[in-house]
């Protein structure tokens, strides 16, 4: 239903809008780490009391919590939570805790519709689902994203949004992207094939490449900052993960590209590792 939708100038605007509307000084906000930094930044600028917990979510205490942020699948690990998240959302509902589930990478997973929690927004009025056109749809730079929530939360967020916060070019591109879901399926087949090739290759080189449900994956290394800088000399950019909360300089995040680009990365890492 249109009344359940919030459109933003990228998903980041929606995160900050959510925090500015609902989070006040001293509010207890729970964030499983490591994850996307923007949740922490948006709530910290509103003087929230941030509480970090493990990604396995087994130690979450929702008593008196104002909000819970969960990235699903998570960035930077690339791992998807199973449907047990519903239990956490239900507990949050009983504690009057708002839950934002960031599904900006959900299109990359197997069976995204089954794994998405959008279908629960009318059942749980504390639930907000975040989506992006930057990732799977490739519209980075056009700045358009959306959230799906209860009609009441959507009404509040839309009422306080900036007039004309999304441009017409972004809106047209987003509509066209949604009408070309076949492209997403073709891309996923290529990504899954290349990801398997890259993970196997890197593990044979002596790195530790981790499984992932998305288009990127983590790789353990000796010095992520040094490795990133060395790869940059070869015009290759990877994500140094040392500035993720609760991570150190021993992991990089690699995004899957086409075979020629992937081979260049792998050959360069083999040379640097040798």
CATH architecture of 2-178: 3-Layer(aba) Sandwich (3.40)
Q: What integer is the mean pLDDT of 241-259?
A: 96
Q: Is 274 a residue whose pLDDT tops 80?
A: no
Q: What integer is the mean pLDDT of 243-263?
A: 96
The pLDDT of residue 41 is 97
The pLDDT of residue 195 is 98
The pLDDT of residue 59 is 84
Here the contacts of 246-251 (C-beta below 8 Å, separation 24 or greater) are 246/33, 246/34, 246/52, 247/34, 247/76, 249/223, 249/224, 249/225, 250/220, 250/221, 250/222, 250/223, 250/224, 251/76, 251/218, 251/219, 251/220, 251/221, 251/224
- Helix axis angle for 224-232 and 259-273, nearest 10°, is 120
Q: State pLDDT tens for residues 119-144.
A: 999 999 999 999 999 999 989 899 99
Percent with pLDDT over 70 in the chain: 100
Q: Where are the domains of the chain?
A: 2-178, 182-273
The pLDDT of residue 138 is 87
Domains 2-178 and 182-273 fall in the same CATH topology:
no
Torsions phi, psi for 121 (to 5 deg):
-65, -30
The pLDDT of residue 58 is 86
Q: Which pLDDT band holds residue 164 (cuts at 50, 70, 90)? A: confident
The pLDDT of residue 144 is 95
> Mean pLDDT for the chain?
96
Contacts of 233 (CB under 8 A, 6+ apart): none
Q: What integer is the mean pLDDT of 107-112?
A: 95
Fold that domain 182-273 belongs to in CATH: 3.90.1150
The pLDDT of residue 77 is 97
- Residue predicted with more confidence, 97 or 137: 97
Backbone angle region of 28, left / alpha / beta, with phi > 0 → left and psi within -120 to 50 → alpha: beta
pTM value is 0.94
Q: State pLDDT tens for residues 36-64.
A: 999 999 999 999 999 999 999 988 999 99
């Amino acid at each position: 239903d249109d009344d359940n939708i919030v459109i933003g100038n990228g998903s980041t605007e929606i995160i900050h809008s959510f925090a500015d509307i609902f989070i006040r000084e001293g509010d207890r906000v729970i964030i499983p780490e490591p994850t996307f930094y923007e949740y922490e930044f948006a709530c910290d600028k509103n003087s929230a009391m941030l509480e970090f917990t493990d990604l396995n979510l087994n130690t979450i205490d929702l008593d008196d919590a104002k909000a819970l942020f969960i990235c699903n699948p998570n960035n930077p690990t690339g791992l998807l939570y199973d449907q047990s998240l519903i239990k956490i959302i239900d507990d949050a509902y009983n504690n009057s805790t708002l839950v934002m589930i960031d599904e900006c990478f959900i299109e990359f997973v197997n069976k995204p519709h089954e794994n998405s929690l959008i279908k629960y927004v009318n059942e749980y009025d504390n639930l907000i689902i975040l989506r992006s056109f930057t990732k799977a749809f490739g519209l980075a730079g056009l700045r358009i994203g959306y959230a799906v929530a209860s009609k009441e939360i959507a009404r509040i967020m839309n009422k306080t949004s900036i007039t004309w916060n999304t441009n017409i070019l972004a809106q047209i591109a987003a509509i066209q992207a949604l009408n070309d879901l076949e492209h997403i399926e073709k891309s996923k087949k290529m990504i899954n094939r290349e990801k398997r090739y890259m993970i196997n290759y890197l593990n044979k080189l002596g790195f530790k490449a981790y499984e992932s449900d998305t288009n990127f994956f983590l790789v353990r290394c000796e010095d992520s900052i040094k490795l990133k800088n060395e790869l940059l000399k070869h015009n290759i950019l990877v994500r140094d993960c040392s500035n993720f909360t609760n991570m150190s300089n021993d992991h990089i995040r690699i995004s899957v590209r086409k075979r020629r680009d992937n081979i260049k990365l792998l050959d360069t890492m083999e040379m640097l590792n040798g």
